[in-house]
Amino acid sequence: MEIIVKAKELDECLFYIHEAVINHWNKDVLRSQLKADIYHHSGKMPSNFSSAITETKLAMKALGMFRDEYLLDFINTEELDVTNPEDIDEPVIEHAIVAHIRQFILTFGRDFSFISNQYRLEVMGEEQFIDLLFFNRELNCLVAVELKKGHFKSSYLGQLNLYLQALDDQVRKPHENPPIGIILCKSANRAFVEYAVRDYKNPMEVATYRTADEMPEQLRKALPDIEELKRQLSNTGDLEESKSE
């Protein structure tokens, strides 16, 4: 019923049915994926996967795994005591993601395991730190994520390329596929990204994200108030405690 009501096209319905079955989504996860509109964002991100990943089947898996936009609705500037969303910096975003890592992984895709944030690498005596490092079982590879608060810049690719090279040389195990890198930024010019990334040999993509503050007003009003939700959870806990007594 959730799919029938919210999906507008037959192909969209079939997409969500297929994803729900293979990923064993429950109703809450399905609602989250419908809200994020993953049908219109899956496999459409600007990347060099087709040329950088030599194995065709693996490249197709990677293209189907990631999206061009992610809805990080657990990041709310009102809760973070930030007056202007532009004041949010990368460490704040990173902290919010780590604090909600399970929800982020559900948003990000299937078969991801979180390894660490600020993962340390040493390259020729220079310390380097990856914002977020994951391992994906289906792709059998490390996935490095770099967070950027603003508009995409081509220099971000050089930084990410260095991290992927170091991961490949120092961290990747012999049975694993080469690592993949993702830049998660606030906005990006798709045509410019495709031009900038095409000659890199390491597989990389660029995606954007939205926070709760940027959701349509109608959708935001439909979400439960955070304080009211806390009160309901508290009342539920008090009721369970009284029953046990």
Domain map (residue ranges) of the chain:
1-40, 45-214
pLDDT value of residue 220 = 44
Q: Which two tokens stand for residue 28?
A: 């809450």
pLDDT value of residue 42 = 65
- Give the chain's largest Cα–Cα span: 67
The CATH architecture of the domain made up of 45-214 is 3-Layer(aba) Sandwich (3.40)
Q: Give pLDDT tens digits for 48-57.
A: 888 899 898 9
Q: Which two tokens stand for residue 166?
A: 């170091």
Better-predicted residue by pLDDT, 162 or 111:
162
CA 108 to chain centroid? 4
pTM of the model: 0.70
* Look-up of token digits 């969303």: 85
* Look-up of token digits 């609602």: 31
- Answer whether residue 238 shows pLDDT above 70: no
What's the chain look like in SS3?
Answer: CHHHHHCCCHHHHHHHHHHHHHHCCCHHHHHHHHHCCHHHCECCCCECHHHHCCCHHHHHHHHHHCECEEEECCCCCCCCCCCCHHHCCHHHHHHHHHHCHHHHHHHHCCCEEEEEEEEEEEECCEEEEEEEEEEECCCCEEEEEEECCCECCCHHHHHHHHHHHHHHHHHCCCCCCCCEEEEEECECCHHHHHHHHCCCCCCEEEEEEEEHHHCCHHHHHHCCCHHHHHHHHHHHHHHHHHHHC
Report the C-alpha gap between 74 and 96 in whole angstroms: 8
Q: Give pLDDT tens digits for 162-185.
A: 999 999 999 999 999 999 999 999
Q: Give pLDDT tens digits for 130-146.
A: 999 999 999 999 999 99
Report the C-alpha gap between 168 and 174 in whole angstroms: 10
Least confident of 4-18, 111-125, 145-159: 4-18
What is the rounded average pLDDT of the residues 78-93? 60
Q: Which two tokens stand for residue 24?
A: 């064993």
- Answer whether residue 41 shows pLDDT above 70: no
What is the rounded average pLDDT of the residues 103-115? 85
pLDDT value of residue 45 = 64
Q: Give pLDDT tens digits for 180-219.
A: 999 999 899 989 999 999 899 999 999 998 876 654 444 4
pLDDT value of residue 225 = 46
pLDDT value of residue 229 = 44
Residue 224 φ/ψ region, left for φ over 0, alpha for ψ in the -120 to 50 degree band, beta for the rest = beta
Pick the most confident of 67-81, 85-99, 213-227. Answer: 85-99
